[in-house]
Structure 1
Amino acid sequence: MEQYSGTHRAFCVRAYYRNGNSIVTAQRLYRAEYRTRHAPSDDSIRKWIRMFENTGATVRIQNSGRPRSVRDEETIAEVEASVRQNPSLSIRKRSQALNIKKSSLHSILKKDLHLKAYKIQLVQELKDTDYANRLNFANEMLQRFNNILFSDEANFHLNGHVNKQNCRYWAVENPRRKHERPLHSPKVVVWAAMSAKGIIGPYFHEDQRGRAINVNSDRYCDMLRNFLVPELQEFAGFNSRTWFQQDGATCHTSNDSMEVVNELFPNKVISRRGNINWPPRSPDLSPLDYFAWGYLKSKVYQNNPTNLTQLKQNIRSEMAAYQQLCVNVLSPIFVPV
């Protein structure tokens, strides 16, 4: 059986993470570092990585009785090193790995190391070419923002579930808080459009029984013709200078969908396959994504709706109050230059 010290194991784990999670590269660097023709096996490195991710250590720590409750300099330094190695490890697992009481560990993290709990925000991964494309697009849009009608869909689950909220990064994790969500919670699929002049919507994508359905090209075209067209006739912000924005979802950019969109907004479509190309992997450029949906979700669950009818009514009521809010939020920002 292979025997390697904690230092050797830690070197392999660091090399693995620093080089694109490559075991082969970690082995090559190990041979170079220790000037040996032999390196730990693939299975050994995988085992150390699993141990590190589960406990924050690469060797098993032998407990010597009850967990320690001290906050001396040596223990604080040990905790600091552990956090530096694995900042996302939970209180419970770090307590077990270091053989320190959870209460003492929490005090060290908060009072001695002055660390805090941060949520991880999940975002679209950008490619190298995206940065210049997004900058050029943003500069071009400054000339048009007051005349852009942004559109988007969002899911609202009855249980109030919002993605991106359950990840944590150390600083610290609150071990007392649990998020228990039933699987397959009922939901509604909402479409809306907004500009500096106000908001159009909501439109609920649902079948004849009121159940949420996935959006495809046929349903999208039906919504454009039978919902958006009448709404535009009453919308004060719609005129010959209005640009229509949609993201690059297939249901939005199919031949049939683009035909309807181009008919409604001739030569003024911001979209994949549109007159101005919407940058890929960039939902955050739309105010619906970076403001409206999050704000709406912070409001519609306040009275804890117990069925989809109540949830939809909450959405309608809150969006009805959006009109002046759109003006307040967008107009000061999107001023033509």
Structure 2
Amino acid sequence: MFDIDGVYYSQNDRVWAVDRADADKKGDIKPKRKFPQKVMVWLGVCSKGGTPSVIIDNDSVDHARYIQEVLPVALEYDNKVLGSQWTFQQDDAKPHIHHLTQRWCQHHFSSFIDKNHWPPNSPDLNPLDYSIWDEFAHAIQCQWDKVTSKATLIDELKRSVKTIRQDVVFESCSSWTNRLYRVSKTNGCYLRE
């Protein structure tokens, strides 16, 4: 999710401090509007590169929108780039685990990891979470002064996704097997880098 106030992901962005005043000094306080204009971005990656992005600029994504607007992009790109020998992975976001989404994936993907076989909260096993989103956010952060409206936000997101370095995509995808092994050795606990 991106909004016109800037890039800040509260789940990942942390400031270590003794107290609130120290946090304010170290944390570069980011003012937020009460209801900022925002858009959602979906992006997929594989060992051959990144998919086209899907930018959803109104409302949120439910299973129907996910099936209609996102999954066909993933299917077309991966079939074109990888042929028929690939496995689709997603996380446990509500639109992903919905029974109709699961049925669509079973019917259209030659192989996919269903909701019962994927750890529900697995940022250590998702190249987007442990590498690509940071690269993407940094690319748009460098141009934040150009974002003044939802339209300019969308333009900058489209421009920024094209600047994601391919070596970052390849390296993050190639480390996946090793990360899977390391998570299995920690009995599913988070990795310490």
Same fold (TM over 0.5): yes
Say if 2:138 is the partner of 1:298.
Answer: yes
The root-mean-square deviation of aligned C-alpha atoms, in Å, is 2.8
Q: Residue 244 of structure 1 aligns to a residue in which SS?
A: coil
Aligned length: 172
Aligned equivalents of 1:250 and 1:225: distance in 2?
14
Q: Would you say the 8 A contact 1:252–1:258 is kept in 2?
A: yes
1:190 maps to what in 2?
Answer: 41
Residues 282-321 of structure 1 correspond to what in structure 2 (within 5 A)?
282-303=122-143, 304=145, 305-321=147-163
The C-alpha deviation readout for 1:231-251, integer Å capped at 9, x for no partner, is: 345x42x22220000112221
Aligned equivalents of 2:45 and 2:108: distance in 1?
16
Higher strand fraction (1 or 2): 1
Q: Would you say the 8 A contact 1:198–1:326 is kept in 2?
A: no
Q: Would you say the 8 A contact 1:191–1:203 is kept in 2?
A: yes
Counterpart AA for 1:244? F
Which of 161, 173, 181 is 2:32 aligned to?
Answer: 181
Structure 1 residue 201: Cα displacement = 2.4
Identity between Structure 1 and Structure 2 (%): 21
Aligned equivalents of 2:121 and 2:68: distance in 1?
26
Residues 96-245 of structure 1 correspond to what in structure 2 (within 5 A)?
155-164=1-10, 165=13, 167-170=15-18, 173=22, 176=25, 177-206=28-57, 212-224=58-70, 226-233=72-79, 235-236=80-81, 238-245=82-89
Q: TM-score, normalised by structure 1?
A: 0.45
Aligned equivalents of 1:226 and 1:327: distance in 2?
21
Bigger radius of gyration, 1 or 2?
1
- With a CA cutoff of 8 Å and minimum separation of 6, indicate the structure with the bigger relative contact order: 2
Say if 2:101 is the partner of 1:250.
Answer: no
2:113 maps to what in 1?
Answer: 270
User: Against the structure 1 CA distance between its residues 306 and 254, is the aligned structure 2 distance closer, same or farther, given a 3 Å change threshold?
Assistant: same
The C-alpha deviation readout for 1:58-89, integer Å capped at 9, x for no partner, is: xxxxxxxxxxxxxxxxxxxxxxxxxxxxxxxx
